[in-house]
Amino acid sequence: MTSDSEVLNKAKPEFLDKSILNHLVGIRSNFAFGLQFWGLLRNSQTADIVKLHRVIVKTDGIYAIPPGKSMHIPEGEQFYALELAGPTQPDFNHAAMEFVKMQLRTFTTESFEKLKGYCDSTDQMEPMQKQPWYQFARMVRNCLKHSQYWKFNKYDLSILPVAWHGKTIEAGMNGKEMTWEFYDPFDALELWDEMYDFGKTFK
């Protein structure tokens, strides 16, 4: 009869074949793609192209309608026509910054959660928790995942301050908003590098 531990051990090579590293690279690639779109929004020549395209969401998929084109939708069929909200002349610089902040949140939280999920499923949480970046990444992830305001629990407060690469999370930050100056895409890429390097140590 096969024990639960034997089943887990047999599952590890198969999981490794899929590779946590490939997952992390995929998340980084999505971040790169997002920043490329940020560049389009920042360029006045390409920002208008974004505005001219219409997006239709139906039960069977998403459709991008180029300028000068139309889409026949049968009467009574449910759909959503997505348009940019706000002023008649959108502030694309502001929109671009908000977009890149969203990309930053997704990049950081997905990288951390994917690696943590892998370590949890393969009994490697202890080595991950010993990494010099772990507590910093965990608290940043918690902040970005929820309200973007620092909210420390009793355990967090017991281990603060937490420092990484010249950045220090302190108890006095509790209740305050995380700023761009504290954590930006360069910081996120450095953090990803260290998580990826840790992923390379898996046997």
What is the tens place of the pLDDT at every residue in 41-63? Answer: 888 888 877 777 789 999 999 99
125 or 203, which is more confident? Answer: 125
Task: Tell me the HSE value of 31 on the side-chain side, using a 13 A CA sphere.
Answer: 21
Is the pLDDT at 14 greater than 90? The verdict is no
Q: In the 8-state DSSP scheme, what is residue 149?
A: B
Length of the chain: 203
pLDDT of residue 60: 95
Helix (H, G, I), strand (E, B) or coil at 34: helix
The per-residue pLDDT for range 86-108, each reduced to its tens digit, is 656 667 788 889 999 999 999 99
Q: What is this structure's pTM? A: 0.83
Q: Give the C-alpha separation, 167 to 184, whole Å.
A: 11
27 or 71, which is more confident? Answer: 27
Read off the amino acid at residue 59. Answer: T
pLDDT of residue 11: 46
Q: Give the mean pLDDT of 183-197.
A: 98
Is the pLDDT at 13 greater than 80? The verdict is no
Q: Are 79 and 57 in contact (CB under 8 A)?
A: yes
Spatial CA neighbour of 122 closest among 19, 197, 15, 198: 15
* Residue 203 pLDDT grade (very low, low, confident, very high; cuts 50, 70, 90): low
Is the pLDDT at 7 greater than 50? The verdict is no
pLDDT of residue 87: 59
